[in-house]
């Protein structure tokens, strides 16, 4: 998609730390009378850091504005079976399953905005967690994090506001007895090889070795999953990747559990890997895994805790712009349901906003924090979509 570089829009932006309540105490999920954000795992650490206040050198960067709070709910919660569980986003509001991933986050946002029910009766992630059903969540969510693109539509109901540029590579982990030659081969797979691996009905043998590559995929509804398959040209994933049954969380190295003679691979956000390995994210699941270099191009450079993204990779066919998705009417003056506080909270002109990529890179800016979390300046501009 050829979209112009991001342009500033609207009035001053702000975002504040979420108020914390009693719901889902196992992982300290907030209950908020302000603005609720759910969705993509890829953005959750950086969004949560900015919402709650991030210590960046001598500066603490906490985005705020108009006296309203923002609550950011992770895509998966530690300590809960399946990582899902339920959340309550408003005081006295309904309890409902955690919207996990870009697709589920967007669908939950749509249900919240339109008042229609959120139907997850047949979604494997929720079926397996015992949470399948239909939920009434009108007014419970204000925006969603997305690592997926929408289809631009000048009159679309939702605004896609660029958060930062990410890239997707693949994480790999070798089981016992795997040869060094196999690890070398699996560390630099071409697009054609990746396509064949992910379309295969069985594990892929490594030429000249007795080892095999086992493809894995994140859960359905994951923007990383959908982007990866599209980037390597796969329309229908093969049985080896267990595409219909997997409920694996994205960007979590601990889901790779290769057996003897196996190398497991799974798509992984470069920004998330950097944030985790550098210690910026709250949890680090990168132990024992490495990032592969598709077509021989490394997605990251340096050593932890000073890893950074490789710009040429971030702007290749494996690069993607990530977004905050919000109803257009709620941030547009004169539209029904316009909320000036939410509009202020999603304007990139303030140096502490979620969407700021202005000229200043001082440690006191959200831009500097997002860079620390592995993101780069977004390649695409804001647009509307349905």
276 lies in the same domain as 256: yes
Helix runs in the chain, H state only? 41-52, 102-114, 124-128, 180-186, 191-199, 223-231, 270-277, 311-314, 340-345, 366-372
Residue 95 confidence (pLDDT): 97
181 lies in the same domain as 149: no
95 lies in the same domain as 124: yes
Please check whether residue 205 lies inside any domain of the structure. yes
Q: State which of 314, 345, 360 marks the end of a domain.
A: 314
254 lies in the same domain as 346: no
Give the count of domains, the chain: 2
299 lies in the same domain as 340: no
**Does pLDDT of 138 surpass 90?**
yes
Q: State which of 270, 290, 314 marks the end of a domain.
A: 314
Lowest mean pLDDT among 12-16, 31-35, 162-166, 311-315: 12-16
Res. 28 pLDDT band, cuts 50 70 90: low
Domain range for 227: 166-314
- CATH number where 216 lies: 3.40.190.10
Res. 225 pLDDT band, cuts 50 70 90: very high
Please check whether residue 378 lies inside any domain of the structure. yes
356 lies in the same domain as 286: no
Res. 19 pLDDT band, cuts 50 70 90: very low
Average of per-residue pLDDT across 310-328: 98
Convert the pLDDT of each residue in 48-101 to its tens digit.
Answer: 898 888 999 999 988 775 878 778 999 988 777 678 899 999 999 999 999 999
pTM for this model (two decimals): 0.89
Residue 53 confidence (pLDDT): 87
Convert the pLDDT of each residue in 165-222 to its tens digit.
Answer: 999 999 999 999 999 999 999 999 999 999 999 999 999 999 999 999 999 999 988 9
Residue 27 confidence (pLDDT): 44
Q: How far is CA 156 from CA 107, 113, 328, 383, in A?
A: 15, 14, 8, 9
Please check whether residue 11 lies inside any domain of the structure. no
134 lies in the same domain as 149: yes
91 lies in the same domain as 170: no
292 lies in the same domain as 277: yes
208 lies in the same domain as 330: no
309 lies in the same domain as 332: no
**Does pLDDT of 24 surpass 50?**
no
Alpha-carbon Rg for the chain in angstroms: 20
363 lies in the same domain as 294: no
Chain centroid to CA 58: how far? 28
By CB neighbour count within 10 A (0-12 exposed, 13-18 middle, 19+ buried), where does 359 fall? exposed
Q: State which of 277, 295, 314 marks the end of a domain.
A: 314
Highest mean pLDDT among 105-119, 123-137, 335-349: 105-119
Residue 1 confidence (pLDDT): 41
């Amino acid at each position: 998609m050829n979209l112009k570089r991001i342009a500033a829009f609207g009035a001053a932006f702000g975002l504040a730390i979420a108020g914390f309540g009693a719901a889902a105490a196992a992982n300290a999920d907030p209950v908020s009378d302000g603005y609720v954000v759910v969705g993509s795992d890829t953005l959750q650490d950086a969004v949560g850091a900015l919402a709650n206040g991030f210590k960046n050198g001598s500066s603490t960067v906490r985005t705020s504005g108009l006296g309203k709070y923002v609550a950011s709910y992770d895509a998966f919660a530690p300590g809960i079976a399946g990582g899902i569980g339920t959340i309550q986003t408003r005081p006295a509001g309904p309890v409902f399953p955690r919207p996990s991933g870009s697709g589920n986050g967007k669908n939950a946002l749509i249900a919240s905005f339109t008042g229609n029910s959120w139907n997850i009766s047949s979604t494997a992630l929720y079926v397996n967690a015992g949470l399948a059903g239909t939920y009434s969540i009108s007014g419970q969510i204000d925006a969603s994090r997305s690592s997926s693109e929408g289809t631009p539509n000048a009159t679309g109901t939702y605004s896609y506001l660029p958060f930062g540029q990410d890239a997707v590579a693949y994480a790999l982990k070798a089981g016992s007895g795997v040869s060094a030659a196999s690890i070398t081969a699996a560390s630099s797979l071409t697009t054609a090889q990746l396509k064949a691996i992910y379309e295969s009905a069985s594990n892929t043998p490594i030429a000249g070795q007795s080892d095999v590559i086992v493809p894995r995929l994140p859960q359905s509804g994951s923007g990383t999953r959908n982007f990866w398959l599209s980037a390597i040209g796969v329309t229908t994933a093969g049985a080896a990747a267990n595409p219909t049954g997997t409920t694996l969380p994205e960007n979590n190295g601990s889901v790779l559990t290769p057996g003897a003679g196996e190398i497991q691979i799974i798509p992984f956000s470069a920004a998330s890997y950097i944030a985790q390995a550098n210690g910026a994210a709250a949890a680090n699941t990168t132990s024992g895994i490495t990032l592969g270099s598709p077509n021989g191009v490394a997605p990251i450079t340096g050593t932890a805790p000073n890893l950074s993204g490789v710009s040429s990779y971030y702007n290749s066919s494996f690069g993607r712009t990530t977004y905050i998705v919000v109803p257009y009417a709620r941030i547009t003056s004169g539209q029904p349901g316009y909320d000036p506080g939410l509009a202020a909270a999603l304007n990139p002109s303030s140096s502490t906003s979620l969407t700021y990529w202005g000229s200043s890179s001082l440690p006191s800016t959200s831009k500097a924090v997002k860079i620390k979390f592995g993101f780069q300046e977004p390649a695409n501009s804001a647009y509307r979509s349905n």
